Amino acid sequence: MNSPRSVTAVGTDGLDAIRTDPSRAVLGFDFDGTLAPIVDDPAAARAHPGAAPALARLAPRVGTLAIITGRPARVAVEYGGFEGVDGLVVLGQYGLERWESGALTEPDPPPGIAEARAKLPGVLEAAGAPPGTFVEDKTHAIVVHTRRCAEPQVALDRLRSIIEALAERTGLAVEPGRYVLELRPPGVDKGRALRSLADAFAAKHGAPPSAVLFAGDDLGDLAAFDAVDALRAEGVPGVTVCSASNEVTELAERADLVVDGPAGIVELLGTLAAADSAPE
């Protein structure tokens, strides 16, 4: 891998467990910043060219291989080129949506989203949102971006309190990220989504996974790191991986393994697939 930090002792145990018994491992990966480079326009994001082939090699070897993203599941599938990856599960909108084998299941958006969608333009105008601020509508969530502003962090801090007030009025939660503030339904996050995959595996097979891994890059991925920690406390080996950037340091400080962005994640995928590639 591209100059990774040394793996922690518990992370080494988790990787060893994945290599020893991959068919019972549960592996989850974020999309933006992890499998796909961060770009100024969310609609221009595309997965690293090696991501889909690496996932396709790994999927038949592991118990559960999933992408857990805040994006709509179909968007992640399209932007990632994942349509043909057999065995891949994509949990979109923090787990509200599930795409698998070309089929998508999703709930109706909560009422608060429609209210926030209607009120947000006026709220941003009243707050004097700086030029470059833009809104991304993800159906089940609404995201305010400041990456294109002259001073993205200053703009984000300026808007934070008024976005939080709108969330409170509409019964939504605010998830901060890399120059974004996302309004979304409360009670959903990547930790719950990852845990649901581990619990579903245990229910199906009558035993917990041999190991669990999650890789991410942003603040919203900390909940999944918490889920890995909780599973480790229950005796399931685990690994937390950070796709490093110079914008978010919190994940690198928590991770068992830090790699160099999406290219490092793709290399990790290849390493995991190769570990179980010997003929039976």
CA 108 – CA 111 distance, rounded (Å): 9
Residues 219, 173: contact at Cβ < 8 Å? no
Q: Tell me whether residue 30 is one of the annotated catalytic residues.
A: yes
Q: Hey, what amino acid is at 81? A: G
Residues 231, 192: contact at Cβ < 8 Å? no
CA 258 – CA 147 distance, rounded (Å): 24
Question: Up-side HSE of residue 92: CA atoms within 13 Å toward CB?
Answer: 23
Question: Up-side HSE of residue 142: CA atoms within 13 Å toward CB?
Answer: 22
Nearest Cα neighbor of 186 from 56, 86, 94 is: 94
Choice among 16, 30, 86, 189 that is catalytic: 30
Q: Which residues contact 69 (CB under 8 A, 6 or more apart)?
A: 30, 31, 32, 76, 90, 91, 92, 94
- What are the Cα distances from residue 87, in Å, to 30, 64, 94, 156, 171? 17, 8, 19, 38, 36
Nearest Cα neighbor of 172 from 161, 159, 193, 188 is: 188
The residues carrying an active-site annotation are 30
